Structure 1
């Protein structure tokens, strides 16, 4: 059996945990690799979620991991958990003998990817944001490839830029299925479908600002607006009371939308945060957006995400301190008076996005296995002190 044939029979380990922003791309890659006949297993931390009933054939292994705590005790505890997780990951990889490890960022991925680098198992990192995340910064020296969703990702040393391949950020199959949904900007007296989301359960600032902005619109324009808005459960009733008297063309408020793909395809304009998954979904479908980055995101990565879309002509970036009722009212009035601007932004978003990121990511993983070089796993190797230091920072 040749080395290539032997590798094709080995499992590919996906290391992911924490938020859905890390788990969703891992699940999409797992689905793609399984379709290509590759065995896949997920390694996550003890709080991480499995892929669920949709992929019951993917085994799940849980190891210890922790994000840096606050204070000396918290940092020492995190470092200890990382150290124990590293021992567990090393034992697991020795038992599995994988062909490769793919890390999706977040501290739950650190022990497994580090153990792979130490064992000279090819490792690929996937970065969903426009700023290389802290976990991936700890691991990049030992990785052979870095798959990115954005161009010009920051916080990467020049020596590691040769490892970059742009694959995009995988989206859910239901979103990918809307890739070819056409966009027609609102014209004349026709309805305007406005979609407002802020993460899985909305953002309080949107519940506060959107009603105040809509009341400032001319009455005829308000009557055209069909608003679909996610609100935090505790904000839902107050938002309803503020919006119901405004004479909108339509109003639907929920704490969680289970039909986001349909709502994205139907909307003329979205008002959202700028997380990586949100950006991937907006651009896959090709919808213009007013992006209000969450200002407390790590390394302010949401602003970096939004800036790239704004520079591409696909969105309008409004920093949260500038996101006032008057600003939003003026922005809505101006955009809805220029359907050509909305159509141009929708086209730019569609050009930027992709429905094939999972396939591109699988290509990158398998290509890495077919291009083994003398360094085997990048040009540098991590040491245990790096992991302990990173967990304590």
Structure 2
């Protein structure tokens, strides 16, 4: 009988895409997968677009500094939705990828006695991971630093990414870029970044005369596209798109300017691209800064805090030196998460094989 693994994920691409990568690996190993996330969330669009089954539930986002009872009510309703779904799907395991959108399915698993496990993407673990770590069959992590913050020891597997590369020459040809020249890929997250959308074109204007071979690929986010195109009009070396296919863009790039989401940082490492990172200061518990500092400590990138965004042009200019970039590229590649999806799928498989027969595909009727 084919066993089902439910992926509890959503909210941002950094939570969704690793789950997609692991689902693909599990399906190759003969498992059935399904996704539970927030209705109308980003996952409701991205997961079906990957050809994977998605079930939406209500979900509440918890702000520690601004608790909202309405969000708690949504989380409770989401728990009820998820209980109904798990009774129907009868999974062997629920695998949570953190973030508020994973809470309903993980809470339902705990209520129903369904085995669950966790993967933490960030250097500083999120609230959902900390809440559910003690009862998990295992906790996996992208970075070893997580273990200083958890009540259990996580197995470090890396952050699953799409393990696909395109030859730089071919990627640039597809994007209409010259084979020569230095290409910087600007990516502010799934929805874009207003701060990067404003600061990077200004920094490019300051550098463009002294760096005539500098080209930019800028993923602005759909809401910012028209404004960005107007802002960069007349700059033929500055290309703006609402969304850029990440494998293609990273394959073409020599350098990246990003926020500090660990999904983005892992993709850059897989492609060996050095980074200038401007962490989002409002990210929960400032986890993006922790992520970015870990990359900087490894020598694979440089942090520019948002309060110092005026320094961006100067720091970008320093990274245009090919020798500086070459050293950083080698260090980025040493952090590559290659094989992470297979390692995490292997953990799932070993956990299910070790389970007692009576635990498989059972749901306790406790509600």
In the alignment, what sits opposite 1:239?
231
* Residue correspondence of structure 1 range 122-271 to structure 2 within 5 A: 122-153=115-146, 156-157=149-150, 159-161=151-153, 164-172=154-162, 176-178=163-165, 191-217=181-207, 219=209, 221-231=210-220, 232-241=224-233, 244=235, 250-257=237-244, 259-271=245-257
Q: 1:285 aligns with which of 257, 271, 288?
A: 271
Once the 2 structures are TM-superposed, how far is the Cα of residue 91 of structure 1 from its aligned partner? 4.0
In the alignment, what sits opposite 1:329?
313
**Secondary structure of 2:152's partner?**
helix
Once the 2 structures are TM-superposed, how far is the Cα of residue 197 of structure 1 from its aligned partner? 2.1
Q: Which moved more, 1:300-309 or 1:20-29?
A: 20-29
**Secondary structure of 1:304's partner?**
helix
Q: 1:42 aligns with which of 13, 35, 40?
A: 35
Once the 2 structures are TM-superposed, how far is the Cα of residue 181 of structure 1 from its aligned partner? 6.3
Are the counterparts in 1 of residues 167 and 251 from structure 2 also a CA contact under 8 Å?
no
Once the 2 structures are TM-superposed, how far is the Cα of residue 87 of structure 1 from its aligned partner? 3.5
2 CA distance for matches of 1:251 and 1:24? 27
Once the 2 structures are TM-superposed, how far is the Cα of residue 144 of structure 1 from its aligned partner? 2.0
Once the 2 structures are TM-superposed, how far is the Cα of residue 180 of structure 1 from its aligned partner? 8.0
2 CA distance for matches of 1:71 and 1:153? 23
Cα distance, 1:144–1:336 mapped onto 2, change above 3 Å: same
2 CA distance for matches of 1:269 and 1:14? 32
Report the TM-score, using the length of structure 1 for normalisation. Answer: 0.78
Q: Deviations over 1:358-387 (max 9, x none)?
A: 2111111112223449xx9xxxxxxxxxxx
Query: Which 4+ stretches in 1 moved above 4 angstroms?
Result: 69-72, 179-182
Once the 2 structures are TM-superposed, how far is the Cα of residue 285 of structure 1 from its aligned partner? 0.7
2 CA distance for matches of 1:68 and 1:200? 20
1 CA distance for matches of 2:167 and 2:330? 12
1 CA distance for matches of 2:197 and 2:65? 34
* Residue correspondence of structure 1 range 292-307 to structure 2 within 5 A: 292-307=278-293
1 CA distance for matches of 2:327 and 2:312? 20
2 CA distance for matches of 1:33 and 1:267? 30
2 CA distance for matches of 1:91 and 1:253? 44
Higher relative contact order (CA 8 A, sep 6+): 1
Once the 2 structures are TM-superposed, how far is the Cα of residue 320 of structure 1 from its aligned partner? 1.1
1 CA distance for matches of 2:256 and 2:76? 43
1:317 maps onto 2:303 in alignment: yes
2 CA distance for matches of 1:170 and 1:212? 34
2 CA distance for matches of 1:361 and 1:179? 25
In the alignment, what sits opposite 2:73?
80
Q: Which moved more, 1:114-123 or 1:272-281?
A: 114-123
2 CA distance for matches of 1:97 and 1:193? 48
In the alignment, what sits opposite 1:114?
107
Q: Deviations over 1:126-173 (max 9, x none)?
A: 11111111222221122121111122027733x312xx112222223x
Are the counterparts in 1 of residues 192 and 219 from structure 2 also a CA contact under 8 Å?
yes
Report the TM-score, using the length of structure 2 for normalisation. Answer: 0.83
Unaligned runs of 5+ in 1: 1-7, 183-189, 377-393
Computed over aligned residues only, the root mean square deviation of the Cα atoms, in angstroms, reads: 2.9
Are the counterparts in 2 of residues 202 and 230 from structure 1 also a CA contact under 8 Å?
yes
2 CA distance for matches of 1:39 and 1:363? 15
1 CA distance for matches of 2:330 and 2:168? 12
2 CA distance for matches of 1:65 and 1:217? 45
